[in-house]
Chains A and B, each alone.
Chain A
């Protein structure tokens, strides 16, 4: 079985890596990673806006944002993909490739989930930060932009990274609307070879595991590092911060 798996990888590594490119659309792991990176990068500004709207005391902003977050959290991603698949061509008036459909869906879905992370990060900051920034003469907006958000986002980096891992896992659903990514490549391979489904899907699982596991570990490492920094035990040059050195 292991020998089979190795020979499948030897014969088809290029298909799993980049799909049928350059003779067809880019696929495989490359497409999966591009999809996830684009998805999360584009979702990020949206998520900050949603988080700010949810924290705002204006009902005009607060209610629609809350409704959006709850709707997205309550509906399966698959259903959202079907909606985008149906609505985006209607709105644009032209058919769009599956790749674009998937990115649009990921932006909405991840935007909602990331906004919860950003919101939690903002809430977790001590209240004094905002008060101090306002006392120093910053407007509410400037305080958010220069004082609150940079700290909140820095603290939330591990969570954002693990949301990125979720995004990678979610791109697999592109398979349902034939987006040429890694899962699609594997099922193509399965349709061609026919006789070795277990080996192929095991390879697929292993590849996803390696990618996601290493990112999860990175996120955990980052979390510990930030927690140490917050306690003041870890600075750029590895020394303690001055006030703690004095205390020690």
Chain B
């Protein structure tokens, strides 16, 4: 076994290039699927507030499916299964345009949306019951009360859970490797195969993942610090 040498990977032109593009792909997947998940999470929350039983149960089913089926299986179903049902020309186009990345983003995003919508829903339920009436009594319209009074409180209540699920979304981006996306874990496996420096390669990846996760947790802790309300004593 060769001696421990991190620089052998970090300063190697090809390996460092692979590392950077892998990290870039991981960040792209994490960011895009987070955006998709968060917007869809709000949409699902709003649908669930409608006074119809059917829509409520549809969303409940959506959430239940995404929470009880492993994320990897969901990704495989998208990439191997649903992709196969698409018309041929679309399949070809996807093959030429990194379809696997698109499916990874869709799969991870839809899955995490279920978690986000549940977080937001319990954040909503935790709001003191008088808040809506008070906001309406002060002259806010329904939408105004929602946007300026209720939603900010709901998001604040849900923040710890949202942060936790954001971290797990980031970690789950590594699953995209299983459907052939060249993200960080994939790049590390390649580097390991080419350089035979397994320990160094894994160490670099671990440090990168860990620092990103800890950064997210720190941002979360900063965001959920006790709110300072202007004018309040």
Q: Do A and B come from one complex?
A: yes
Interface centre among B64, B77, B81, B199 (most CB of A within 10 A): B81
- Structural contact, A78 and B185, CB atoms closer than 8 A: yes
A99 at interface by CB-CB < 8 Å: no
Interface centre among A74, A170, A187 (most CB of B within 10 A): A74
What residues of A have a CB within 8 angstroms of the CB of B80 in the complex?
190, 197-198, 201
- Given contacts A76-B209, A86-B202, A205-B77, A216 and B67 within 8 Å (CB-CB): yes
Partner of B84, one of A76, A183, A198: A198
- Structural contact, A183 and B202, CB atoms closer than 8 A: no
- Structural contact, A79 and B73, CB atoms closer than 8 A: no
B69 at interface by CB-CB < 8 Å: yes
Partner of B210, one of A71, A169, A200: A71
B20 at interface by CB-CB < 8 Å: no
Number of A-B residue pairs with CB-CB distance less than 8 Å in the complex they form = 105
A136 at interface by CB-CB < 8 Å: no
Range of interface residues on B (Cβ < 8 Å): 35 or more
Partner of B171, one of A70, A76, A198, A205: A76
- Structural contact, B209 and A213, CB atoms closer than 8 A: no
Chain A 70-105 near chain B by CB (<8 Å), digits 1 or 0:
110111111100110010000000000000000000
Interface centre among A73, A190, A213 (most CB of B within 10 A): A73
Using a CB-CB cutoff of 8 Å, which residues 80-97 of chain B contact chain A?
Answer: 80-82, 84-85
Label chain B's interface by main secondary structure: helix
What residues of B have a CB within 8 angstroms of the CB of A204 in the complex?
73, 76-77
Chain A 155-199 near chain B by CB (<8 Å), digits 1 or 0:
000000000010011101101100000010001001000000111
B172 at interface by CB-CB < 8 Å: yes
Chain B 170-203 near chain A by CB (<8 Å), digits 1 or 0:
0111110110000001001100000000110010
